[in-house]
Amino acid sequence: MGCSKRPKGPNPADEEIKKRRDAEAAAEQARKDVKAAEERIAELNRQNKKTQEEAKVARQAAEKAAAASLAQARKEKEAMAEAKRAADEARLRAEAAARTASEEAKKKAVEAEEERKRTAAVQEQARRDAQAAQERAKKLQEAADEEKKKAAAAQEAANVSKKAAEEQVKVANVAREEAERKLKEGIQPVVTPTPEEVSAAKRRVQYREDLFHIAIAGIAGGGKSSLINAFRGLRNKDIGAAATGVTETTLVMARYPHPNAEYPLVLYDFPGAGTLKIPDWQYFNDQGLYVFDSIIVLFDNRFTMTDIAILTNCRRFKIPTYIVRSKADQHIRNIMEDMGYDSDDDSSKVKKLHQAARQQFIQQTRQSVKDNLQNANIPDQRVYIVSNKTMLDVASNTTIFDVLARKQPKTIDEIELLSDMIREAQIRRGHRD
């Protein structure tokens, strides 16, 4: 039997080897593309921490795509190995039986072509995935650049805001310096409360339309609490009396309704002005004195700028005021001692000395208040000179009718003050009715 001739044309095995090499080269190129994408993503992560998470997602997606590509390449490699093995079998069978081998070779060639097409499709997909990864990386870079622009814009806005704030601070400092200058010159700042502030102040003092609300205001240590106790017929040590002391004892506003139902009065004890806690130029508005029906401006040794500020604001708000100098008995005793008072003097001498000291004290007080009001461009008004002890006796031993009729022993201004307050309360309450 003679040897059969090999069919002319390309060797299928060589073609398979070439195709396998091409597929491996394509897979290697795909791996390089994936590696390049990973490096690009890592670089983007270092450049912009704000997009780190998104870049991580992109890198993971790229790795996933690369893994899928490698897996597919491995499958193709295995398929190519299988194809080679099949081609080898076909070659052996072709040598044994040319016709059968020829048909089988054709069949394998067709299968190899299909595998080549599938490999090409995988390569194309890997290329597209790599391209998509690059596009995502580009978008992330663009997003990072946009965030950088926004950050720069925000910084610029912050700089503008800072500059505006600095300008506001300058304006505020100028206003503060101007206010301080005016205060030094005796010019008090004008502050008008809002309707909301007025309503809040009335709620705070428990304001009632059927009562007459009187605030006792003035410098710290002026005897406000003692005067309130005297008005209410209470000694300083009695239960329910306002706290008193050498130092300022009233730290918050206190409300004291008059215990006698005939007196439609509610008295309010306020912290003393002129302390570190309460600056005198803020005293009137901070304490909400603008909601009261009348205000007693109480002073002891001297008429101060605090008193002037309260009186000026009361004129602005058309609030009746009573200028009161308390502790008259103490001041008269001091003047008597300056005149040479001796406890061993006979009663007639003591009486004359007391009368002279009393008259001097009254004249000096009235003249001092008049001068202070004139210097502050405030119209002259009466000053009530009272002794807390005498006021206590008047308030404890009289009825409203006695006060209004002024049927009391000789005093200074205690009866007049109490009767004027009650009459004003009745008039204003009648207007409300």
Percent of the chain with pLDDT over 90: 13
Read off the pLDDT of residues 166-194 as tens digits, 9 standing for 90 and up.
887 787 577 657 655 665 555 556 678 88
pLDDT, position 403: 47
**In the block, residue with structure tokens 């700042």:** 189
Dihedral (Cα; 113, 115, 116, 121), 10-degree rounding: 130
pLDDT, position 199: 94
pLDDT, position 219: 72
Band of the pLDDT at 290, cuts 50, 70, 90?
very high
Cα separations (Å) of 92 from 11, 25, 31, 105? 13, 29, 36, 11
pLDDT, position 308: 85
Band of the pLDDT at 154, cuts 50, 70, 90?
confident
Whether 325 shows a pLDDT value over 60: the answer reads yes
Residue 117 structure tokens: 């097409």
List the end-to-end C-alpha distance of the chain, in Å, as a whole number.
145
pLDDT, position 267: 92
Read off the pLDDT of residues 195-206 as tens digits, 9 standing for 90 and up.
999 999 999 999
Whether 226 shows a pLDDT value over 70: the answer reads yes
Rounded-to-integer distance, Cα 365 and Cα 353, Å: 18
Whether 277 shows a pLDDT value over 70: the answer reads no
pLDDT, position 276: 43
Residues 6+ away with beta carbon under 8 Å from 414: 386, 387, 390, 391, 394
CB half-sphere exposure, 399, CA atoms < 13 A: 2
Phi, psi of 378 (to 5 degrees): -110, 130
Rounded-to-integer distance, Cα 118 and Cα 120, Å: 5
Contact (Cβ atoms closer than 8 angstroms) between residue 363 and residue 390: no
Contact (Cβ atoms closer than 8 angstroms) between residue 296 and residue 321: yes
Rounded-to-integer distance, Cα 106 and Cα 91, Å: 11
Stated pTM of the model:
0.54
Nearest residue to 353 via CA among 334, 371, 339: 339
Percent of the chain with pLDDT over 70: 84
Band of the pLDDT at 2, cuts 50, 70, 90?
low
pLDDT, position 432: 56
Residues 6+ away with beta carbon under 8 Å from 344: none
Whether 335 shows a pLDDT value over 80: the answer reads yes
User: Does residue 5 come out as left (phi exceeding 0), alpha (psi in the -120 to 50 range) or beta?
Assistant: beta
Residue 419 structure tokens: 């009767």
Compare 94 and 349 and report the one with higher pLDDT. 349
The count of other CB atoms within 10 Å of the CB of residue 373 is 19
**In the block, residue with structure tokens 């710290």:** 220
Band of the pLDDT at 3, cuts 50, 70, 90?
low
CA 363 from centroid of its chain's CA atoms = 53
Low-confidence winner among 76-90, 191-205, 274-288 (lowest mean pLDDT): 274-288
Low-confidence winner among 136-145, 298-307, 329-338 (lowest mean pLDDT): 298-307
Read off the pLDDT of residues 392-427 as tens digits, 9 standing for 90 and up.
888 776 554 454 444 444 578 888 888 888 888 777
Residue 104 structure tokens: 């089988």
The count of other CB atoms within 10 Å of the CB of residue 130 is 23
pLDDT, position 241: 78
* Mean pLDDT across 76-97: 82
Rounded-to-integer distance, Cα 260 and Cα 276, Å: 36
Dihedral (Cα; 316, 320, 326, 331), 10-degree rounding: 70
* Mean pLDDT across 78-84: 85
Whether 247 shows a pLDDT value over 70: the answer reads no
Rounded-to-integer distance, Cα 212 and Cα 159, Å: 55
pLDDT, position 242: 78
Q: Partners of 219 in the beta sheet?
A: 273
What angle separates helix 388-396 from helix 414-432, to the nearest 10 degrees? 60
Read off the pLDDT of residues 354-390 as tens digits, 9 standing for 90 and up.
889 999 999 999 998 999 888 888 899 999 999 888 8
Whether 344 shows a pLDDT value over 80: the answer reads no
Rounded-to-integer distance, Cα 297 and Cα 173, Å: 32
CB half-sphere exposure, 74, CA atoms < 13 A: 5
Read off the pLDDT of residues 103-120 as tens digits, 9 standing for 90 and up.
887 888 888 888 889 888
Band of the pLDDT at 302, cuts 50, 70, 90?
confident
Cα separations (Å) of 59 from 67, 132, 133, 194? 12, 12, 8, 62
Kind of pairing between the strands at 254-257 and 265-269: antiparallel
Dihedral (Cα; 107, 112, 118, 121), 10-degree rounding: -130
User: If you average pLDDT over each of 152-161, 284-293, 395-404, which comes out highest?
Assistant: 284-293
Residues 6+ away with beta carbon under 8 Å from 79: 115, 118
3-state secondary structure of 108: helix
Whether 278 shows a pLDDT value over 70: the answer reads no
Band of the pLDDT at 82, cuts 50, 70, 90?
confident
Find the helix or strand (DSSP H, E) in which 166 lies. Answer: helix 98-184
Burial 305-331 (b: 16+ CB within 10 A, else e): bbbbbbbbbbeeeebbbbbbbbbbbeb
pLDDT, position 249: 53
* Mean pLDDT across 332-353: 83
* Mean pLDDT across 7-15: 73
